[in-house]
Structure 1
Amino acid sequence: MTTGAATTDDGTRVRRRVLAIAILASSVAFLDSSIVNVALPAIRGELGGGLAGQQWVVNAYLVTLGALILVAGSLSDLYGRLPVLRIGLIGFLVASLAIAAAPSIEFLVVARAVQGVAGALLVPSSLALITSQFDEAARGRAIGAWTAATSAAMLVAPLLGGLSIDLASWRWAFLINVLPIGATLWLLAGLRIADTRRPGVRVDLAACALCALGLGGIVFALIEGPRLGWDQPAVLAAAAAGVVLFAGFLLRQARAAHPIMPLALFRIRNFSAGNLATTFIYAALALNGFAVVVYLQEGAGLSATLAGLASLPVTVIMVLGSSHVGGWSARWGARIFMTVGPAVMAAGAALLLTVGRPFDYWLQVLPGIVLLGVGLTLTVAPLTSAVLGSVDAERSGIASAVNNAVARVAGLLVVAVIAVIAGGDLDLAGFHRVAVATAVLFAAGALASWAGIRDRRGT
């Protein structure tokens, strides 16, 4: 009896350590993806670049992240979750130091692209680690806890970044992740588990290049088109090359023996429906995150710290509710949560149309932010569980990678067209146009979930 109790206690401690590693490693990537938005006005003020420069600072990271996260899923399945996590953490640390020392906007954009390469190694391996170490009964609650903690990190990041910017410099904001990186590496050093591998998996670097160059060409055209003119040869050539290269990537995936994005996964109903919902929801989140934080500083005149504080209610709501929603979703099914959550967020985005002059955060912004927090809490854990739960554990690494790639590419493309949506710069009229587009995207996510997701009990 004593031996059994000890074994149970040891297993519980290992699972807690695994969950802590997964949370910290993912939080590293999420911290910077949120901090960058609040830092954009300060970066623009010091290094220049205008709105296009701000878009590139965000999208250089998302291009490499979105393309290489697929390779990271295969690497995770081939070499194991733990080695891939270690390499990603060290690479992210080096890239963060380079960003903090950036002498020009061009250098910063390149460093952000390198950071995206490292970030691509973190999230799929973290989620796959949870999937492989927790049984089905405990997985929903574990993913709920992961969602709550990583979302809290992502959403409190603007506050931490704002304090760094106001008290010191935007450069210090990109060094916040040094502590979680150190803590995660320390926890990994003491972890003793049997890592999950899939012998025979191959990594298709040519497909990765096609994906990255294809997305890069499309994004270049979307960002530079409004500035240079849509009829300029450079814009037209980039758009055409991007479309052809990305089509080549999809064609290669359809024919490859070991694809980095197995198109066969999309024949699984919940996987394809979950990724369609992910496309709409995460495009809306990226659009909202960029526009709100930048407008609060450049349009409403708030400091970086106050702009960061504006999203704090979302953090509080997610910390309080996400672990509960994960358990409820496991019991009642994901479909209802994935439908109601985005619908609530659509209402929150629509409330941002009340923003005007004189500006009043409490009446014009806070109600929409609260609804965003409630909707996000209802959505994220069930969405993650629905997508990962639709495939077997051996393919959880690549399934997580595909879902994360879909989310990042959706954000990448919508940020690339933000100037088109806003009709120029993010003045008040442009902010209202973005709010409408955000509400429409959230509503589309709700409809995709209701029409596509099927719970196991067949509802």
Structure 2
Amino acid sequence: MVTLTQKDAAGRDPRRWWALGALVASMLVLGFDMTILNVALPTMARALDASTGEQQWMADAYVVVFAALMLPAGLLGDRFGRRRMLITGLGVFLAGSLVGALADDVTPLILARALMGVGGALVMPLAMAVLPSLFGPEERTKAVGAVSAASALGLPLGPIVGGWLLDHFWWGSVFLVNVPMAAIGIAACVFLLPETRDPASPRVDIVSTALTAAGLSILIYAIIEAPGRGWGDPLILGLFAASLVLIAGLVVRERRSPRPMLDLSLLTRRGFLLNTLAATLVMFVLSGLMFVLPQYLQAVLGHDAFATGVRMLPMMGGLLIASRGAQPLLARFGARGVISGGLVTLAFAAVLGSRTTVDDGYGFTALWLSIAGLGFGFAVVPAMSAALGALPRDRAGSGSGLLMTVRQVGSAIGIALLGSLLASTYGDRLDTSGLPHAAADTAADSVVGAHVVAARLGDHALAASANASYIHGMDLVLLVSGIAALVTALLAAALLSNPEPAAAHAPEEDTGMAPTPADARQ
């Protein structure tokens, strides 16, 4: 087993920053994969003769599996070693990427995406779970900020890299680009990361794992499908009912188990619960911004996929600045003040963005997007750091899995609810009078479809109506997002407490590093 043995004067290994680099590389490749496929879908659909439903599964297979397996993945890391399972996750992700790059039919491509979701589910929570063993409370915020920034930075880089690859190579290159990055991450984890585990972790409960995966998979699928089918559709209602029954069955089983797989007692820790909710609500708001912006930049302002990715960078710039500047502010104002201030900043950015008109250019968008990045960074990074710090170190894997799962579900709900609001507002205001029925349906489906119809028919009025309708819907989404962020800021200011360091709850085994305080929060 590889361990880090050379300590500095404070008893910490100086190579922990190289280990952090391994985690950053791992998270960056996951960030890529969140958005890179969106650029390639039209090309892949033409090459594979994929239907609309098959295209949707190409994108959704990753998200559904990813969200459903993060909780069991955290437990596997606790029991069998977080470093070992992190390497395994990167290996599975690499294998899925290879299968996707070589696929010549829709079915193996969907399976490849699901396999990549399995790998991502192992990597995401465990990358966070090893941080308390590498960094003390005074450095943890900076480390969490670096890992979070790497994941977020991959979001706009996905369209940039994907657009460039599609301009120069075949569509499989958007999968192949993951291979060298995952391989570098594996090598770095092998040589730089210490092994940590919880020897007292319960055995993997197959039934509870199945209930978790099935319940969350059905819930996420229902949320994704609901905007298109309608929230009152019998299938959607049936899926929500089934997910509720499965998740309720999981809770009952875990509460009755003497050695539960899912430690629900973590939710009784006020610091963990409140900071997890704060981070989740931030992701709800951010998902709304990320959903409406690419379509606005591409369809309304007329930029291609590569240019769209470039124009989303101001938000990442704000996030990077916030992640670097959070520590001094935390030392002065405490986590409650910084998180609340970040949420207020995010609310201001969203409300400012809701003033966008058809006559505004990219400059105005860059302004509020930069402010949104600052607010996001100052809110979510301290919230996640405080939530992780509230965990006993021997439950870091399962607790981190719970945190990341709730965040992922929050993002899915944000996309579903805010996307439904955007679609209904856009469809209600779009003027399709005089259009053939098929053309009207295509135009009402999306602003991109409306521009395709307008270009084919030479209908400039339709294009203008589509732009105005989309901007109106986008403004409404941003306004709702701003209100949600402001309400969350008020709740954070009222309910959060500034944490104080406490002793670790249990010793770590085989960390190869000096022990660090758990910085537990009550």
TM over 0.5: yes
Mark the CA change 1:226 to 1:62 in structure 2 (over 3 Å): closer, same or farther: closer
Matching residue of 2:480: 437
Shift of 1:55: 5.7
Equivalent pair of 1:161/1:173 in contact (CA under 8 Å): yes
Shift of 1:328: 3.5
Equivalent pair of 2:198/2:395 in contact (CA under 8 Å): no
Matching residue of 2:396: 396
Cα-to-partner distance string for 1:133-163 (whole Å, 9 max, x where unaligned): 2223332333233334443344433322332
Shift of 1:83: 0.8
What's the TM-score, normalizing by structure 2?
0.78
**Letter matched to residue 431 of structure 1:** M
Equivalent pair of 1:84/1:121 in contact (CA under 8 Å): yes
Shift of 1:418: 4.7
Cα-to-partner distance string for 1:339-378 (whole Å, 9 max, x where unaligned): 1112212222223334443561112x11221111111221
**Letter matched to residue 98 of structure 1:** V
In 2, distance between residues paired with 1:356 and 1:105? 40
Larger radius of gyration: 2
**Letter matched to residue 65 of structure 1:** F
Matching residue of 1:322: 323
Shift of 1:91: 0.6
Bigger mean CA offset, 140-149 vs 333-342: 140-149
Cα-to-partner distance string for 1:85-134 (whole Å, 9 max, x where unaligned): 11100111122233334556665444323222110111221122221122
**Letter matched to residue 474 of structure 2:** F
Equivalent pair of 2:318/2:372 in contact (CA under 8 Å): no
Equivalent pair of 2:98/2:179 in contact (CA under 8 Å): no
For residue 27 of structure 1, give the secondary structure of its aligned residue in structure 2: helix
Bigger mean CA offset, 344-353 vs 54-63: 54-63
Matching residue of 2:499: 456
In 2, distance between residues paired with 1:289 and 1:170? 24
Matching residue of 2:284: 283
Bigger mean CA offset, 418-427 vs 279-288: 418-427
In 1, distance between residues paired with 2:43 and 2:171? 6
Mind listing any 5+ residue stretches in structure 1 that lack a counterpart?
none
Matching residue of 2:209: 208
In 1, distance between residues paired with 2:193 and 2:74? 22
Equivalent pair of 1:39/1:304 in contact (CA under 8 Å): no
Mark the CA change 1:15 to 1:232 in structure 2 (over 3 Å): closer, same or farther: closer
Shift of 1:196: 3.3
Cα-to-partner distance string for 1:236-264 (whole Å, 9 max, x where unaligned): 43232222222222333333334343221
Equivalent pair of 1:162/1:304 in contact (CA under 8 Å): yes
Mark the CA change 1:132 to 1:406 in structure 2 (over 3 Å): closer, same or farther: same
What's the TM-score, normalizing by structure 1?
0.87
Mark the CA change 1:58 to 1:342 in structure 2 (over 3 Å): closer, same or farther: farther
For residue 192 of structure 2, give the secondary structure of its aligned residue in structure 1: coil
Mark the CA change 1:44 to 1:373 in structure 2 (over 3 Å): closer, same or farther: farther
Matching residue of 2:421: 421
Mark the CA change 1:413 to 1:253 in structure 2 (over 3 Å): closer, same or farther: farther
Matching residue of 1:27: 28
Root-mean-square deviation (Å): 3.0
Shift of 1:411: 1.3
**Letter matched to residue 412 of structure 1:** A
Equivalent pair of 2:84/2:195 in contact (CA under 8 Å): no
Q: How do residues 178-217 of structure 1 correspond to structure 2 at under 5 angstroms?
A: 178-191=179-192, 193-217=194-218
Mark the CA change 1:180 to 1:432 in structure 2 (over 3 Å): closer, same or farther: same
Matching residue of 1:245: 246
Mark the CA change 1:396 to 1:356 in structure 2 (over 3 Å): closer, same or farther: same
Equivalent pair of 1:274/1:386 in contact (CA under 8 Å): yes
Equivalent pair of 2:30/2:151 in contact (CA under 8 Å): no
Mark the CA change 1:448 to 1:188 in structure 2 (over 3 Å): closer, same or farther: same
Matching residue of 1:17: 18
Equivalent pair of 2:317/2:370 in contact (CA under 8 Å): no
In 2, distance between residues paired with 1:19 and 1:205? 32
**Letter matched to residue 391 of structure 2:** V
Matching residue of 2:94: 93
Matching residue of 1:381: 381
Cα-to-partner distance string for 1:39-81 (whole Å, 9 max, x where unaligned): 456556766655x766654443222222211111111111111
**Letter matched to residue 325 of structure 1:** A
Mark the CA change 1:279 to 1:237 in structure 2 (over 3 Å): closer, same or farther: same
In 2, distance between residues paired with 1:269 and 1:172? 46
Matching residue of 2:461: none
For residue 456 of structure 1, give the secondary structure of its aligned residue in structure 2: coil
Shift of 1:192: 6.7
In 2, distance between residues paired with 1:49 and 1:283? 29
Matching residue of 1:83: 84
Shift of 1:389: 1.0
Cα-to-partner distance string for 1:398-430 (whole Å, 9 max, x where unaligned): 221111011111112333345422215454143
Matching residue of 1:366: 366
For residue 176 of structure 2, give the secondary structure of its aligned residue in structure 1: coil
In 2, distance between residues paired with 1:292 and 1:138? 34
Q: How do residues 111-190 of structure 1 correspond to structure 2 at under 5 angstroms?
A: 111-168=112-169, 170-190=171-191
Mind listing any 5+ residue stretches in structure 2 that lack a counterpart?
428-444, 448-469, 501-520
In 2, distance between residues paired with 1:230 and 1:194? 46
In 2, distance between residues paired with 1:192 and 1:355? 47
In 2, distance between residues paired with 1:39 and 1:214? 30
In 2, distance between residues paired with 1:287 and 1:89? 29
Q: How do residues 240-319 of structure 1 correspond to structure 2 at under 5 angstroms?
A: 240-319=241-320
In 1, distance between residues paired with 2:232 and 2:291? 27
In 1, distance between residues paired with 2:39 and 2:347? 23
